[in-house]
Structure 1
Amino acid sequence: MREKVLFLKNFFRNPLRNASVIPSSKASSKAMLKGIDFNRVSVVVELGPGNGVFTREIIKTVTADTKIIVFELEPTYINLLQNKFGDRITLVNKSAHLLSETLEELGIDKVDVIISGLPFLKGDIKQKTDEAICQLTRRGTIYRFFTYMPGIMKNVYKELPIEKKYFELRNIPPLWVYGIN
């Protein structure tokens, strides 16, 4: 219950960054990971995990030696994620637009999967994040993100070669999973 209250507080504090009043459902977590062969995955990057709903499902799905790198800006989520997942994740308190530079700093040259819970981005941050994602997906990285508004999302991400993967009705509100590869 505390996490739901925290999520709601963060929504009211910054609705553009925390784009929902409640965390995503377990069903949506499964939809985000559906169709990915995690037996062949050694590095997962999660962008904007919030309270870690997708992170929990990632940890349950990957092998024990899979590296999980999580990018989160909100300080209250940083503490929550660290307490929940400890050293099972590498927690990065940076914006997603610094993805390429951060992976280089961490000595990671190949990412197998990117799972994104980011809201719509704008300006330079969006451009740099999109460029990093495009660069990685051209080298085989699988990218998944969700939206509650596919019509708007298609205009916002028209530069990316995204395609609809799944629709998940068992979430409030229902969501669509899109991705590359």
Structure 2
Amino acid sequence: MNLAFMYQYFHQPRTVGALLPSSTHLAKKMVKGIDFEHAGCIVEYGPGTGVFTRELIRRRSACTTLLLIEYNRHFYEKVKEQVRDEKNVYVIHGSAENVQKYLIQYDIPKVDYVLSGLPFASLTSEVSDCILQNTRSVLAEEGKFITFQYTSFKKQLIRSFFPQIKVEKEWRNVPPAYIFTCEKNQI
């Protein structure tokens, strides 16, 4: 799996943010703030090889809908195969910029959590702004946007859409990653 991931990184560096897939340590830290008992819908941007997806599926309640949006065709096919027997899991080959359209397509009125593995440092400012604005608009009032980045460089950009951010670091990932848990409303 790592060789396939590296291949995708070298051939599509703007859409694959790292040389290696995320660690299970990072996946566990990314989902630890999710109230799985009450989450009606969780959206994942850029599931890649499915590290976070597997953790979401393992912990979610049976009635939680998962909407996975993957831009990279290779990763889309892999994740679709991984979740083919799961109920209430939808995999879309598309862009997170279009999250609103996909929610309408699946008749999902609100999102409780958005997890993101998108490399904001590699995306244009227009694409980043569009994704963050649309994410903010689809989240329920108490919803959370949880993303990781390899630097804190994009924290100010994210804060312009989500004023409340809690930051943690996961050292057991290669490379180490910052986890931003973001909320729409200020304290």
Structure 1 segments (4+ residues) deviating >3 Å? none
Equivalent residue runs for 1:7-86 within 5 Å: 7-86=5-84
Matched, 1:165 2:185: no
**Count of residue pairs brought into register by the alignment:** 178
C-alpha RMSD of the superposition: 1.5
**Aligned equivalents of 1:118, 1:87: Cα separation in 2:** 26
In terms of fraction of residues, the more strand-rich structure is 2
Checking the alignment, whether the CA contact within 8 Å between 2:22 and 2:174 is kept in structure 1 is yes
Normalised to the residue count of structure 2, the TM-score between the two structures is 0.89
1:179 aligned residue: 181
Checking the alignment, whether the CA contact within 8 Å between 1:137 and 1:180 is kept in structure 2 is no
| Amino acid aligned to 2:18 | S
| Amino acid aligned to 1:108 | I
Identity percentage of aligned residues: 29
**Aligned equivalents of 2:75, 2:164: Cα separation in 1:** 28
Aligned counterpart in structure 1 of residue 143 of structure 2, from 128, 141, 155: 141
**Further displaced range: 94-103 or 79-88:** 79-88
**Aligned equivalents of 2:168, 2:59: Cα separation in 1:** 18
**Aligned equivalents of 1:43, 1:158: Cα separation in 2:** 23
For structure 1, the 5+ residue unaligned runs are none
Checking the alignment, whether the CA contact within 8 Å between 2:159 and 2:165 is kept in structure 1 is no
- 3-state DSSP of counterpart to 2:111: coil
Checking the alignment, whether the CA contact within 8 Å between 1:46 and 1:114 is kept in structure 2 is yes
- 3-state DSSP of counterpart to 1:112: strand
**Aligned equivalents of 2:174, 2:126: Cα separation in 1:** 31
In terms of fraction of residues, the more helix-rich structure is 1
Checking the alignment, whether the CA contact within 8 Å between 2:44 and 2:115 is kept in structure 1 is yes
Checking the alignment, whether the CA contact within 8 Å between 1:162 and 1:178 is kept in structure 2 is no
- 3-state DSSP of counterpart to 2:155: helix
Matched, 1:115 2:115: yes
Task: Spell out, residue by residue over 1:68-119, the C-alpha distance to the aligned partner (whole angstroms, 9 max, x if none).
Answer: 1000011111111111111422011110000112211221111111100011
Checking the alignment, whether the CA contact within 8 Å between 2:110 and 2:140 is kept in structure 1 is no
Cα distance change on mapping 1:124 and 1:153 into 2, 3 Å: closer
